[in-house]
Structure 1
Amino acid sequence: MFAGLPLAVWNAGIVGALIVCCSAVALYRYGAWTEWSNLTLGCWAVVAPFLLGFGSAQGPMWTHVMIGLCVATIAAMQLIASRKSAGALKH
């Protein structure tokens, strides 16, 4: 493990920090890339426990899955909403 911390902790910290950064940038100046980044990070959070080998640890696994699903869902909804509003402006 890295410096005594479990892989689940490192993954949660890094992915969480990236989600926060992308979300902060989106609040400051919206760009579809921030939502695509959060969608990707959310999907990674869902599959990470199984790919990184901590899927049997129920607490970290469910935390990753639920947070990942929430982040990915919100990012997808934002992308759909921005696509609809861009389409409405063309008409």
Structure 2
Amino acid sequence: MRIHSHTLTAHKADILAVMSRPAALDLYTLGCGLFLIGAPWLFGFAHTAGRVDAELVGAAVIALSIAGLVAFADWEEWLKVALGVWLIAAPWLLGFVHSSAMHVSIAIGIAVMFLSLLELWLAHDPDFADTTTT
């Protein structure tokens, strides 16, 4: 079977298009997820609900960030936005307000939401897309 050079050129163009998107933002959310998993030990979370929430949501953020690094999809960014909203609301819903777990949860929730919404905006912004393909 013979592979034509135009097929390889098209394949290279597809790879470059995927790599030119704002993948660094997925790396930042991956870092947020790793921080969230380590936060119960770093800050000594006293509330079990805060600890378990940080570990589970951190693992989910890590999984979605890795999925975003492999192949960008809107759905994984929207799920990270939802996890960010959850992290902001969790201290009141799970009962660990006025604790170090609350502060970490809210801060990481805001960061994950911001980074995910920024990635969605950059992925769909025609001005950004025009500057990366030239």
What is the TM-score of this pair, normalised by structure 1? Answer: 0.84
Q: What's the % identity of the aligned pairs?
A: 29
**RMSD in angstroms over aligned alpha carbons?**
1.9
CA shift digits 1:33-52 (9 cap, x unpaired) = 11001111011101100111
> What is the aligned residue count?
84
CA shift digits 1:44-84 (9 cap, x unpaired) = 10110011110122x11000000000000000001111121
Does the residue aligned with 1:55 lie in a helix, a strand or coil?
coil
Residue matched to 1:10: 52
Larger radius of gyration: 2
- Looking at structure 2, the residues matched to 14 and 8 of structure 1 have their Cα atoms a distance apart, in angstroms, of 10
- Structure 1: any 5+ residue segments left out of the alignment? none
Letter of the 2:106 partner, please give it.
Answer: V
Q: Aligned pair 1:45/2:77, yes or no?
A: no
Residue matched to 1:63: 104
- Looking at structure 1, the residues matched to 72 and 121 of structure 2 have their Cα atoms a distance apart, in angstroms, of 14
2:66 is aligned, of 11, 14, 24, to 24
